[in-house]
Amino acid sequence: MHLLLLGCGKTGSLVAEIAAERRHSVRTAGSNENAACAALTPEKLHDVDVVIDFTAPHCVTAHIEACVKAGRNMVVGTTGWYSEIDRIRTLVEEHKTGFVYAANFSVGVNLFFDAARAAAAALRHKYSAQIFERHHAHKKDAPSGTAMAIQQILREVSGKSEPAEITSFREGEVVGLHEVVLESPNDRIYLCHDAKSRRGFAEGAVLAAEWIAGKKGFYDFKDVWREL
C-alpha cells in the first residue's frame, strides 16, 4: 500500500518503521510540511491508500476533515478529539470513506478492555471502581483516551450514570500504564496493563491500515481488532 503518515514523533516514527518492514511504501509529513494541512490537498493525496495520523489534539480534526473530503481512508491514533466524534462519524459516512480510530491500538490493551468488561460485573454488586493512568510528562491530554474508554466500558456494564473516577499521573517517560481497581467492603480486584514500549500501538495501527484499505465505514479498533 501507499501510506501517508502524519506525525513522525515518538509513535509515528515506529509506525513508519513497522510499515516499511511490512513492505508498504510510506511517505511522512511532519508539522513543517503539513502546516495548515498543506500535505493534504486532493492532488497530494491522489495515490495514497490510507493516511495514518499520530500528531496532536489541536490539529487532528483539521487533518481528518481534509482527508475525508478528499475521499481518503484514515487510521487515527491521535487522541484528545473525541468530543467531536459524532460530527466526524457523520462526515465519514457522508463522504463514504473508511475510518478506524482508537485511543489505543495495542492488541494487549484491547484484550484488557475485555477483561475490564468482564470484571465490571462486580459493579452490579457491592463494588465501586477507580481508574488510574500514568503517562510520560510530555503527554498533552489528560485523562488518557484509554482511561476514558475503560470508564465508558464500566458505565455500559454497570448501567450507572455516575462515571468511575479517573486519576491521571504524568511523570518521567512512562509509556502508558492503566489500572482498574474494584473495591467492596470485603476485597479488592486489581486489573493492570503496563505498556513496555510504543511498538504495540504502532503494530496495531499498521494492521488497522491494512484492514481499512478499500473499505468504507466508521470503526472503533476495539470492535474490529479480532478480524486482523
Q: Residue count at the site for ligand NAP (CB under 6 A)?
A: 26
Which amino acid, residue 222? Answer: K
Residue 120: phi and psi, rounded to 5, are: -65, -10
Question: Using CB under 6 A, which of 19, 48, 49, 55 touches ligand NAP?
Answer: 55
> Interacting stretch for ligand NAP, rule CB under 6 A, among 90-98, 103-111, 122-130, 149-157?
103-111
80 binds ligand NAP (CB under 6 A): yes
**Restricting to residues 151-190, which ones interact with ligand NAP according to CB under 6 A?**
none
C-alpha cell at 188: 479488592
Nearer to ligand NAP, 12 or 143 (CB): 12
Question: Using CB under 6 A, which of 2, 10, 89, 117 touches ligand NAP?
Answer: 10
Would you call 216 a catalytic residue per the annotation?
no
Distances (CA, A) of 187 to 128, 182, 183, 191, 218: 11, 8, 6, 14, 40
Question: Using CB under 6 A, which of 61, 73, 97, 104 touches ligand NAP?
Answer: 104
Cα separation, 151 vs 127, in Å, equals: 15
Cα separation, 113 vs 107, in Å, equals: 10
108 binds ligand NAP (CB under 6 A): no
Question: Which one from 135, 178, 193, 222 is the annotated catalytic residue?
Answer: 135
30 binds ligand NAP (CB under 6 A): yes
C-alpha cell at 131: 481508574
> Interacting stretch for ligand NAP, rule CB under 6 A, among 23-31, 82-90, 92-100, 157-165?
23-31
Are 20 and 64 spatial neighbours (Cβ–Cβ below 8 Å)? no
Question: Which one from 2, 10, 69, 139 is the annotated catalytic residue?
Answer: 139
List of long-range contacts for 18-25, beta carbons under 8 Å, 24+ apart: 18/199, 18/202, 18/203, 18/206, 19/52, 19/206, 19/209, 22/206, 22/210, 24/206, 24/209, 25/1
Distances (CA, A) of 97 to 16, 49, 119: 23, 11, 36
Minimum CB separation of residue 228 from ligand NAP in Å reads: 14
Would you call 135 a catalytic residue per the annotation?
yes
Question: Using CB under 6 A, which of 45, 77, 132, 222 touches ligand NAP?
Answer: 77
Minimum CB separation of residue 188 from ligand NAP in Å reads: 28
Q: Which residues contact 154 (CB under 8 A, 6 or more apart)?
A: 116, 120, 123, 129, 131, 163, 164, 180
Active site residues: 135, 139
Report the interface residues with ligand NAP, using CB under 6 A.
6-12, 29-31, 34, 54-57, 59, 77-80, 102-105, 198, 201
